[in-house]
Structure 1
């Protein structure tokens, strides 16, 4: 006869050991720590800022006090900054200032007015016109500059000269004079960047409550009063942003001029820009120290101009209680 099973008795007599907590990876525990995790998420931005912005700026400042030659560098003090006071520097600065002035004069009010029309409920095909005005900004600057160089060419069969012939005017070389060359640059900028500023103003208009316009209309305000008393003041933050990036874009313009004149050497430097001057001195003449000094001078000038315009717009004023 088989012996009785003692499984239950054995199981009952077997001592039970308390369960031990599962060991976690120390690296995993460190990453999931509430004190460390925020710094881990911010670290990529900090590294990108230090590597791609802070270090190049620091190197540029040091290089501006040096004479940089192939295989050797030597400190020369303030000599690079003393060489800034020359005709080419002021010519480039004057060209960029004229370009910035005319682009601000056109690319602020024109997109604003167009945005008001396209934001109106009575406007038909508004989506089509928004797309049509924005598409030029997607075009490569190189392609746009090449096309405009052909349109404003010096030959009789150039598009703009043929248009002049239709009105009884003679052929001119658009890119040989300072006035007409600047006109071509401004037309190119208007064609390409009006749609971008239009999107900015449209986004600002859509954030304005319609109740304000309805209340003003009940009080007897006409369209001009609603535009001047409601639209323009409430679009002030967007306008400040557009003006700021337009000033930067105006003084950072280079590719448009380079493509229109097929290089960095225009007649009497009528198309010379600040970045073109940096390229000429730093790359073409291999004077990286002098080119760094030009870049830092441009940076200081841009900071001063933007501080003045922000002060003019009242951005630095404290809000009154």
Structure 2
């Protein structure tokens, strides 16, 4: 009992749940994956093969295809899911419009994040069906365009995935930006108005610099979310096999090798490389944003 009331022990007791969770659900699985990536795992047989899985991986055409699909998807989601939610957050945070309508709008935008990806994937698969009666084909039919086989072409399949991402994550990112906007002191805008700054100049020279930490955070989680995307593609294509692998992501490839092909050693190597890629992208963008730069005193 004396230990519970010890001022020296109290900080360690408070962080103990995090340390246990981190160790059990992150550090141990990561270490185990690194070890497995150097093994050939068969039923009742484990063979150490060194870097053979990595050598095989870098010569695997399908691996590079899946990695390219994920990188392309991630880059395009960043181009969509940073500026669009930011603009919406600025509009919601402005004094224009009814507060009740804004509250309804915020709720409506956030609801997709609470919706099951499985259910949403089935609905979007029906929307993007190649049938002439599918919703998307009916919409383009209004403009005289013939029905499109959305999920059988590379660009249209990518467009479908991006629309799903916009529908699902725009509201979430908007909430992050809205929280950042509401934390900006009103005195900055008052000083800018006194100096004769227009609304656009206030946005460029006041809003964006003050939102920098929020933007960095949203970019970081968006990179992870884009590279880790799997279930949306899996449900949209009704499985992990799309025409000519146009919907195959790097996590989908990991799932294919580890679960479908039962090649756990090779799948672990894919997972380790994926982790390195995500860390490299995020650490690079954090360095470029000046997060690691010491401020001059």
What's the TM-score bracket when you normalise by the shorter of the two chains? over 0.9
Using the alignment, how far apart are the partners of 1:42 and 1:302 within structure 2?
Answer: 27
Match of 2:65 among 91, 102, 114: 91
Using the alignment, how far apart are the partners of 2:51 and 2:258 within structure 1?
Answer: 17
RMSD of the alignment, in Å? 1.1
Partner of 1:100: 74
Q: Does 1:182 align with 2:134?
A: no
Q: How far does residue 32 in structure 1 lie from its aligned partner after superposition?
A: 2.3
Q: How far does residue 252 in structure 1 lie from its aligned partner after superposition?
A: 0.2
Using the alignment, how far apart are the partners of 1:41 and 1:314 within structure 2?
Answer: 32
Match of 2:114 among 124, 128, 138: 138
- CA distances 1:109-133 after superposition (whole Å, capped 9, x unpaired): 0011111110011222211111111
Using the alignment, how far apart are the partners of 1:172 and 1:226 within structure 2?
Answer: 44
SS in 2 for 1:83: helix
Q: Does 1:30 align with 2:3?
A: yes
Shift >6 Å, 4+ stretches = none
Q: Does 1:66 align with 2:39?
A: yes
Partner of 1:45: 18
- CA distances 1:188-213 after superposition (whole Å, capped 9, x unpaired): 00011000000000001001111211
SS in 2 for 1:278: helix
SS in 1 for 2:262: coil
Counterparts of residues 147-158 of structure 1 (less than 5 Å) = 147-158=123-134
Partner of 2:92: 118
Partner of 1:314: 290
- CA distances 1:77-114 after superposition (whole Å, capped 9, x unpaired): 11100111211111111111111111100110001111
Q: Does 1:203 align with 2:179?
A: yes
Using the alignment, how far apart are the partners of 1:168 and 1:30 within structure 2?
Answer: 76
Match of 2:250 among 274, 280, 283: 274
Q: State TM-score, norm by structure 2.
A: 0.96
Using the alignment, how far apart are the partners of 1:34 and 1:162 within structure 2?
Answer: 68
Using the alignment, how far apart are the partners of 1:189 and 1:123 within structure 2?
Answer: 27
Q: Is the radius of gyration larger for structure 1 or structure 2?
A: 1
Residue-pair matches, total = 294
Q: State TM-score, norm by structure 1.
A: 0.89
Match of 1:54 among 21, 24, 27: 27
- CA distances 1:225-265 after superposition (whole Å, capped 9, x unpaired): 11111001110000000000000000000000000110000
**Structure 2: runs of 5 or more not aligned:** none
Partner of 1:4: none
Partner of 1:82: 55
**Structure 1: runs of 5 or more not aligned:** 1-27
Task: Decide which structure has greater helix share.
Answer: 2
